[in-house]
Amino acid sequence: MNLIVDVGNTLVKLAVFQGGDLIDKENDVLENFNVNFEQLLKKYPKIQKCILSSVGLLTDKQLEFAKKQLNILILNGETPLPFINDYKTPQTLGVDRIALVCAAVKNFPNQNTLIIDAGTCITYDFVTQTNHYLGGSISPGIRLRYTSLNNLTANLPLLTKEVPETIIGDTTKSAIHAGVVLGSLFEIEGVILTYQRKYSDLTVILTGGDANFLSKQLKSSIFAHPNFLLEGLNYILQYNSNE
C-alpha cells in the first residue's frame, strides 16, 4: 500500500493506492499537512511506501515530520524514470510534469501523447510512441489570468470562472469571462491542432483542477482524467521499488 503526497501551489493532495488502484484521497491546505498525513497512516496501517512531489512550499519541519513516519522517496531530477528524458534542462523540469509523463507512459504505452494539465498554470507535455519525452509549453491558468487582470490594472475586478455565453462581452465582467475562458479554450484547441498536424495518431489527456470545467467546452477528442498526476506518482514509486 502506497501513500502519495503531491504538494501543489494551492493545496496538498494525499492519496492512498493499493497496487494501481486509488482507494482514498484528501485535499487540504498546507497548514494541515501534518494532521492529514498522520490520520491517513492511522487509517491505513499497511502503508509501507511513500513518494513526495512538491512544487509548493512544504516546510523543513513538515518534511522532517513525514520522514519520521515513513521512508519517503522525494521526487526530483535525479529520480530514475520509466521514460527517456530529452528535455535539455532536466534539472529545471517540474516534478508535476514528470509525474504526468509517467502516467501517460503507463496508461498509453507506445502512443504519441499530449498531456494538458489545467491548474495554476496550463502545462503541455509531449511523449512520443518511442517513449521519448520531448518537452512542451507553459502558460497562465484560468485563475492566474483572472488574478493578473485584477492585480495589474487599475479598474478591472477580480472574478471567479464562469462560462461565457458569447465571445462578444457587452459588460466589463462578461468581456473578462470571454477573454479568460474562451481565450484559454482557443489556446488549448490551437495547441492540440498544432500537435495533430504533426502527429495524426495523437492521444490527448486533460487533467488538473480545471479539467472538468474545460472538458465540457472543448471540441477536441480528449480523455479527461482528474487523478492522472497521482497515478503517475504512484507508478514512479512502484518503478523505483522494483529496481
The catalytically annotated residue of 96, 125, 170, 201 is 96
| Strand-strand pairing, 21-28 and 72-74 | unpaired
134 is in an annotated binding site: no
* Residue 172 assigned to a binding site: yes
The label of the residue with cell 501523447 reads: 113
94 carries a ligand binding annotation: yes
Grid cell listed for 225: 482524467
Closest CA to 102 of 135, 127, 123, 78: 127
- DSSP structure class, residue 232: H
Task: Please check if 173 is assigned to a binding site.
Answer: no
Name the residue type at position 134.
L
Active site (annotated) includes residue 96: yes
Task: Give the containing element (helix H, strand E) for 183.
Answer: helix 183-198
- Residue 180 C-alpha cell reads as 479568460
**Cell numbers placing 168:** 462578444
- On whether 180 is known to bind a ligand per the annotation, the reply is no
Q: How far apart are CA 39 and CA 68, in angstroms?
A: 15
Q: Is 235 annotated as a binding residue?
A: no
7 in a known ligand binding site: yes
35 is in an annotated binding site: no
210 a known binding residue? Answer: no
Residues of each annotated binding site for K(+): 117
Active site residues: 96
Residue ranges for the known binding site are 6-13, 87, 94-97, 117, 120, 172
Q: Residues marked as binding for substrate?
A: 87, 94-97, 172
Per the annotation, where are the binding residues for ATP? Answer: 6-13, 120
